[in-house]
A and B are shown apart, each in its own frame.
Chain A
Amino acid sequence: MTNPSASPSRSERFEAEALVHLGPLYRTALRLTGNDADAQDLVQEAVLRAFRFFDSFEPGTNCRAWLFRILMNTFVNEYRKRVRGPHQVDLDETTMSTLESRADQAIVSLPATPEEVVFAGMLDGDLKEGLWALPAEFRAAVLLCDVEEFSYKEIAEMTQVPVGTVMSRIHRGRRALREFLLRRAKPVRALSAGA
């Protein structure tokens, strides 16, 4: 099976089963690392590993989940060890609570406007910033759930934490994101109220 002469079919299998997921891998990598160059590095490294271990992938099982597991693993073990940009600061749970309670205080002063209306006017840049303000673990959990639509169990396996932790990260991540966006949306509210 590992006979070199068999490699063409292996490459083609890899093309058909794995490389079709480049889009989702890249968009997640982009939001994990925060920039295009690092995202490309991360995906390239993950794909190389996937290719190397492709024989251990069980045909018929979920290849996308398998690739994301490798991506997350590469992100945690290689990328974050190597790259510590000015923004790549780990926020622990205490910092997270502080962030949330500050948000709680801010929200009290906000008038009641349907959030849907506020969010509809949200700019992509605001959302990007809001996501970026989250600790990487929270950001990853939210993205893997909401964008990539993996189950809690799949995310738990990818990020090697219990299912309960996945749920709490998603919940708190969304909550913090929402508070961030509501604070950001204040001027818009004032404008629409005056109109």
Chain B
Amino acid sequence: MDCREIQEQITAFVDRELPPEESARLSEHLHACSSCRAAEERERDVKRLVRSRCADLTLPHGFAERIRASLPGDDAARPVPAARPEPRTGRSSRIAGGGAPRAYSGWLAAAAIGFLAIAGTLVWSRSGVEPVLAEALVDEHARFAKGLDLGIRESDPKSAAAWLSEAAGSSVPVPDLRPKGARMVGAQMCRLLTQGHGAVVYDVEGHPVTLFIPPSGMIEPSADGTSSEGWRSVRVKGRNAVAWKDARGGICWAVSDLPHARMREIVTVAAADR
């Protein structure tokens, strides 16, 4: 394979669209050839930039409610305050209602009222929200598991906790899972949920396990108490995810390809005081 041929395939390579054998052949060449490697980096840089800067999930204020209200069918069964059904021409009122900051720049700031609120409260009480969150976490986990996007490589929980806490602006407890046979690989701030979730990647007998831990400053005291809820287990995109509330009342997640029971056993340290 010559360089020209290689570079034609770099886009598909970066997007993991090549069959395994081709992909292996390409990475072999990339190891040896700096000009093709530069082409790969160029492509990857843009991909990474777009992905990180366009990942906001903030909806305009009241938009979801308006959508629900516009759907035909029963209103009684939905726990949504009766919004006035809006004709499709009602754009001006939408603009007035949604005169919120642009989603581009506002998502970090708006996370506290937007997706964060969903993560903090709804996820625990409404099963309908859980899949999308779990799916997002599984995606993050899949990247970490490939060794991509880790902020630090670190095997010491204390150092990782310090790093994450500084990045998050409040304390992120990182459990030491060594007694459970889990070696820490590294950590990253998980931007997909909020500005705050700490993601910690462990290796358990060759299986990557990612823990998602909310910083203390992000945990809202919930009126309904934290003690009555137990473990949640879901299976998404071929991975297993478990969620629980830690001693602070923060909702933590763990994702891996290990069975739910095994994961719970490993992370019971993290769930201490439950």
Q: Are the C-beta atoms of A36 and B56 separated by less than 8 Å? A: no
From residue 135 to 170 of chain A, which have CB atoms closer than 8 A to chain B?
142-143, 145-147, 149, 151-152, 167, 170
Asked if A189 lies at the interface with its beta carbon under 8 angstroms from chain B, I say no
Chain A residue contacts of B50, Cβ below 8 A: 127, 131, 142-143, 146-147, 174, 177
C-alpha spacing A7/B75, complex, angstroms: 10
C-alpha spacing A37/B74, complex, angstroms: 27
- Which among B15, B46, B88 has the greatest number of chain A C-beta atoms within 10 A? B46
Q: Are the C-beta atoms of A36 and B91 separated by less than 8 Å? A: no
Q: Are the C-beta atoms of B131 and A19 separated by less than 8 Å? A: no
Q: Are the C-beta atoms of A19 and B64 separated by less than 8 Å? A: yes
| Chain B residue at minimal CB-CB distance from A120 | B49
Q: Are the C-beta atoms of B15 and A152 separated by less than 8 Å? A: yes
Chain A residue contacts of B42, Cβ below 8 A: 115, 178
Task: Give 13 CB contacts A-B under 8 Å.
Answer: A8-B74, A23-B57, A23-B132, A27-B55, A31-B54, A119-B49, A122-B53, A127-B53, A167-B17, A170-B11, A171-B11, A175-B46, A181-B46
Residues 31-63 of B, flagged 1 when their CB comes within 8 A of A and 0 if not, give 000000000011101110111011111111001
C-alpha spacing A45/B87, complex, angstroms: 11
Chain B residue contacts of A12, Cβ below 8 A: 77-78, 128
C-alpha spacing A110/B43, complex, angstroms: 18
What 3 pairs across the A-B complex have the smallest Cβ distances? A23-B57, A16-B128, A20-B132
A10-B73 contact, Cβ under 8 Å, with A20-B131, A167-B17: yes
C-alpha spacing A116/B128, complex, angstroms: 39
Chain A residue contacts of B94, Cβ below 8 A: 37, 40
Number of A-B contacts (CB under 8 A): 142
Choose from B15, B64, B74, B105 the contact partner of A145 (Cβ within 8 Å): B15
Q: Are the C-beta atoms of A7 and B59 separated by less than 8 Å? A: no
Residues 179-196 of B, flagged 1 when their CB comes within 8 A of A and 0 if not, give 000000000000000000
C-alpha spacing A178/B57, complex, angstroms: 24
From residue 33 to 78 of chain A, which have CB atoms closer than 8 A to chain B?
36-37, 40-41, 43-45, 47-48, 51
C-alpha spacing A115/B49, complex, angstroms: 11
Asked if A30 lies at the interface with its beta carbon under 8 angstroms from chain B, I say yes
Choose from A11, A51, A124 the contact partner of B74 (Cβ within 8 Å): A11
C-alpha spacing A26/B59, complex, angstroms: 7
Chain B residue contacts of A142, Cβ below 8 A: 50
Choose from B49, B56, B67, B68 the contact partner of A122 (Cβ within 8 Å): B49
| Chain A residue at minimal CB-CB distance from B105 | A124
CB distance from A25 to the nearest CB of B (A): 10
Chain B residue contacts of A47, Cβ below 8 A: 67, 70-71
Chain B residue contacts of A170, Cβ below 8 A: 11, 15
From residue 55 to 104 of chain A, which have CB atoms closer than 8 A to chain B?
none
C-alpha spacing A178/B44, complex, angstroms: 11
Chain B residue contacts of A15, Cβ below 8 A: 68, 78, 128
C-alpha spacing A110/B255, complex, angstroms: 44
Asked if B98 lies at the interface with its beta carbon under 8 angstroms from chain A, I say yes
Asked if A128 lies at the interface with its beta carbon under 8 angstroms from chain B, I say yes
Choose from A7, A8, A147, A167 the contact partner of B11 (Cβ within 8 Å): A167
Asked if A22 lies at the interface with its beta carbon under 8 angstroms from chain B, I say yes
CB distance from B243 to the nearest CB of A (A): 16
Residues 111-136 of A, flagged 1 when their CB comes within 8 A of B and 0 if not, give 00001100100101101100100000
Asked if A184 lies at the interface with its beta carbon under 8 angstroms from chain B, I say no
CB distance from A110 to the nearest CB of B (A): 13
